[in-house]
């Protein structure tokens, strides 16, 4: 993790490599093609549904989960296409597996000590969990869709569950191919494209509201857009912010050659998890709202009826439009803080970092090698993660509060989260492309 002070590739070099280097060009074309394929699947409808009746119910606001699920599926839920669930089951499965990995020693051993074989086994388990999760959500979605079916019955129910589950698994396969053979960040890129697909319609509704609402409403829209612009600057600051811990390499002699002390630095990012804490927090908040929407009021008797009523109450109180919006904000902030620390613990291990520095003959000035170094890195990492999580939470909540204050509700409370994911994924993808450019540069140097 110790880096040198080599220059990063310029924009001109990056675009030249994208156009000329066969390896990078192939990865980009594969990624673009698969993303286009994923967008086409959104418009493949589940058969046997009255589209006009479904559209009327969604536009009238009788389906509160439509805007939230469209956020992850790029409009697939409103169209009730075979990609209605999108990448959401895979994200939920990843959350479950990462939490279990931290709690179960066997899974932790697979991830840390078994190398590539262990990571592949965890990926396989994640796929099975995603399949089970997709079936559960497909059953709920089929129950919800049955009220709009032209011929409701067992055959419609089975066909809908199979179609939506197969679509979700196909989207998961696309995300893994992009991660392995494309430019990386497959799940994040799919969410990015889905947000971009919905964004023109949202912006059009906002502009129309500003034109028809008079001068006062136009001023409120301008205030909201200015807040979003400030938030973009803040997001870039958080994503790019690092704490550089100075590192001194010990003087060493190889044969007759004496290598002097060399100073470098150890970069610790302000936000280790990138955009994933926001995505995971949003996915967890969606769960009770989705179950409540599928339950349609939680009617029924006995244990199942009581359970559905409880889910409805939880979804009501942690909804941004519910009677206690402050509780929604509090839960959102706590989830962002939790996943920020969780991801930081997965990405950076202070003990391993301290041992690697000791093996390299490097040390932090004023800090003894060994446990003192790991404790120091852990303290710095905890402070950085806390600051980054608080800033991420503010960036996620402030625009939503401004939306409520101004009355501009065309973003449906998802403007801040969408903004975070758009900017964060764009920065991470640009860095990934730069990494491939640097690797191409080194390969060229070796060949020469």
299: confidence class by pLDDT, cuts 50, 70, 90 = very low
**DSSP string spanning 331-358?**
HHHHHHHHHHHHHHHHH--HHHHHHHHH
Confidence of residue 262 (pLDDT cuts 50, 70, 90): low
Residue 251 within any structural domain of the chain: no
Q: What is the pLDDT of residue 260?
A: 59
Please provide the distance, in angstroms rounded to a whole number, between the alpha carbons at the two ends of the chain. Answer: 27
Residue 190 inside a domain? The answer is: yes
- Helix orientation angle between 276-295 and 115-145, rounded to the nearest 10 degrees: 30
Which range of 3-17, 372-386, 398-412 scores highest in mean pLDDT? It is: 372-386
Number of residues written out for the chain: 448
> Which pLDDT band, with edges at 50, 70 and 90, does 4 fall under?
very low
Is there a domain that residue 280 lies in? Answer: no
- Quote the CA–CA distance of 178 and 276 in Å, as a whole number: 17
Average pLDDT, the chain: 76
Is residue 93 domain-resident?
Answer: yes
- Asked if residue 287 is part of any domain, the answer here is no
Q: Which stretch of 117-126, 160-169, 219-228, 368-377 has the lowest confidence by average pLDDT?
A: 219-228
- Tell me: pLDDT of 288 over 80: no
Question: Which H, E and C letters describe 220-255, residue by residue?
Answer: HHHHHHHHHHHHHHHHHHHHHCEEEEEEEECCEEEC
For the chain, how many helices (H) and strands (E)? 16, 5
pLDDT band at 218 (very low <50, low <70, confident <90, very high): confident
The larger pLDDT score, comparing residue 148 to residue 372, is at: 372
CATH code for position 56: 1.10.3370.10
> How far apart, in whole angstroms, are the C-alpha atoms of residue 161 and residue 147?
15
Examine the pLDDT at 320 and tell me if it is beyond 80: no
Confidence bin at 106 (pLDDT 50/70/90): confident
Greater model confidence, 205 or 89: 89
Give the chain's domain count: 1
**119: in domain:** yes
- pLDDT score at 311: 60
Q: Is residue 349 part of a domain?
A: no
In a domain, 88, yes or no: yes
- SS3 for 421? helix
Spatial contact of 138 and 164, defined as CB atoms under 8 Å apart: yes
User: CB atoms < 10 A from the CB of 273, how many?
Assistant: 25
Range of the domain at 95: 21-198
């Amino acid at each position: 993790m110790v880096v040198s002070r080599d220059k990063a590739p310029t924009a001109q070099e990056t675009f030249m490599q994208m156009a000329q280097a066969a390896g990078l060009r192939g990865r980009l074309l594969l990624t673009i093609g698969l993303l286009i394929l994923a967008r086409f699947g959104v418009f493949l409808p589940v058969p046997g549904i009255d589209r006009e009746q479904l559209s009327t119910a969604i536009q009238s606001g009788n389906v509160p989960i439509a805007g939230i699920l469209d956020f992850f599926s790029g409009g697939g839920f409103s169209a009730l296409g075979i990609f209605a669930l999108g990448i959401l089951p895979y994200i939920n499965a990843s959350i479950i597996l990462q939490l279990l990995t931290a709690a179960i020693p066997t899974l932790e051993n697979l991830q840390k000590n078994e190398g590539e074989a262990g990571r592949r086994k965890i990926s396989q388990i994640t796929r099975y969990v995603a399949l089970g999760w997709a079936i559960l959500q497909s059953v709920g979605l089929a129950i919800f869709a049955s009220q709009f079916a032209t011929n409701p019955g067992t055959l419609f129910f089975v066909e809908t569950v199979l179609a939506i589950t197969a679509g979700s698994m196909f989207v998961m396969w696309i995300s893994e191919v992009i991660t392995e053979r494309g430019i990386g960040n497959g799940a994040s890129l799919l969410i990015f494209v889905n947000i971009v697909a919905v964004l023109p319609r949202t912006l059009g509704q906002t502009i129309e509201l500003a034109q028809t609402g008079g001068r006062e409403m136009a001023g409120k829209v301008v205030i909201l857009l200015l807040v979003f612009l400030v938030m973009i600057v803040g997001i870039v600051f958080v994503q790019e912010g690092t704490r550089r811990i100075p590192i001194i390499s010990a003087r060493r002699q190889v044969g007759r050659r004496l290598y002097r002390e060399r100073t470098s630095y150890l970069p610790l990012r302000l936000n280790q998890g990138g955009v994933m804490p926001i995505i995971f927090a949003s996915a967890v908040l969606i769960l009770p709202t989705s179950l409540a929407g599928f339950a349609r009021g939680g009617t029924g008797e006995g244990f199942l009826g009581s359970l559905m009523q409880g889910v409805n109450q939880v979804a009501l109180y942690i909804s941004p439009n519910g009677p206690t919006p402050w509780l929604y904000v509090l839960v959102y902030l706590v989830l962002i803080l939790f996943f920020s620390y969780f991801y930081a613990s997965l990405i950076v291990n202070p003990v391993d970092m301290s041992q690697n520095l000791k093996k390299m003959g490097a040390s932090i000035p004023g800090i003894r090698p060994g446990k003192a170094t790991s404790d120091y890195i852990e303290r710095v990492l905890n402070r950085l993660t806390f600051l980054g999580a608080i800033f991420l939470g503010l960036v996620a909540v402030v625009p939503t509060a401004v939306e409520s204050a101004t009355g501009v509700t065309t973003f449906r409370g998802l403007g801040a989260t969408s903004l975070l994911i758009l900017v964060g994924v764009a920065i991470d993808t640009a860095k990934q492309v730069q990494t491939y450019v640097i690797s191409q540069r080194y390969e060229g140097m070796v060949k020469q």
